[in-house]
Structure 1
Amino acid sequence: MSLGADGAPGRVPADPLRIRSGVRDSCLIVEAEGELTILTADRLREHVLTDMRDLDGPPRVVMDVGEVSFCDSSGLNALIVLWKSAHRGGGELVLARPGRRFSTIIERSGLDRHLIAHPSQESAIAALTAPGGP
């Protein structure tokens, strides 16, 4: 049995993934909240790719996944596509605030070698904007 956002059985939340983004310290900050699944991964990918195209210079992206409650293989694929796109543009994509379950998924898939995680948005921004950084 699945529980909806209000805890009622069988109810599906109106928006299973909420995405907010903005620029801070020349980094694109993307905050995802909810479920990153086959139903939502395309929307996240397109949202971030559009925002990346609007940036001046190489894309430096902080993907805050602290409020992502679930991620399936489609979600992981979207993150890989975004990471590759940032690299093709001479930039970098890093994760911020991954929860224990999210970190485990990244580690077990072997993606932790590419999707570097930071405990906070601030530390992720610092890593991307440090002299000699990406």
Structure 2
Amino acid sequence: MTTEGDRHVPGGGRPPTSVPPEPLRVRSRLRDSCLIVEAEGELTILTSGLLRDHVLADLRGMSGSPCVVMDVGGVDFIDSSGLNALIVLWKAAHRAQGELVLARPERRFRTVIERSGLDRHLISYPTLDEAVTALSGDGGRRAGE
């Protein structure tokens, strides 16, 4: 045990050795009047603000009823903060009379969405093409209506 004066120094005075989280990479583009948002990495308390802020800024720059496809095929992990970011973005799209759907969710991602009950609101499509077709084909009306 290493001490400084009378107090214990955790880790024996060595610097902490934690593995940093996988950074989240977010890119967006327009396709068939839909905003395609590609997310890759971990969607956690440390990274969810990046996704939320990026998409909200894109939504502010769009006119009309936004259709947003979140391509989450590259998301390795999602925690409750990541779920909250998706809820915030879904609500923002709906407030603007638009829609937000998910594309390419991996099995673990789908399981988290289903167990949280969000699958009733966050509609998922197995491919990006299917998601874009579903939204752009109906003029941006809400999926499932």
Q: TM-score normalised to the size of structure 1? A: 0.88
Q: Which residue of 2 aligns with 1:64?
A: 71
* 1:19 equivalent in structure 2: 26
* 1:1-134 pair list within 5 angstroms: 10-12=18-20, 16-131=23-138, 133-134=141-142
**Counterparts of 2:106 and 2:43, CA distance in 1:** 14
Alpha-carbon separation, structure 1, partners of 2:57 and 2:28? 11
Distance 1:126 1:27 in 2: 10
CA RMSD of aligned residues (A): 1.5
Counterpart CA distance in 2 for 1:60 and 1:100 is 24
3-state secondary structure, aligned to 1:131 = coil
Residues 77-109 of structure 1: CA deviation (Å, up to 9, x unaligned): 000000000000000000000000000000000
Q: CA deviation at 1:131?
A: 3.1
Question: Helix, strand or coil for the counterpart of 1:16?
Answer: coil
User: Quick one: distance in 2 between partners of 1:34 and 1:131?
Assistant: 31
SS of match in other structure, 2:115: helix
Matched residue of 1:61: which SS? Answer: strand
1:10 shift after superposition: 4.7
The residue type paired with residue 108 of structure 2 is R
1:39 alignment partner, SS class: coil
Shift in Å, 1:11: 4.2
Quick one: percent identity of the two aligned structures? Answer: 67
Distance 2:138 2:37 in 1: 22
Give the whole-Å Cα distance in 2 for the aligned partners of 1:21 and 1:129.
16
Give the aligned length: 125
Tell me by how many angstroms 1:129 deviates: 1.2
Q: Which has the larger radius of gyration?
A: 2
Residue aligning to 1:4: none
Query: Structure 1 segments of 4 or more deviating over 6 A?
Result: none
Equivalent position of 2:5 in the other structure = none
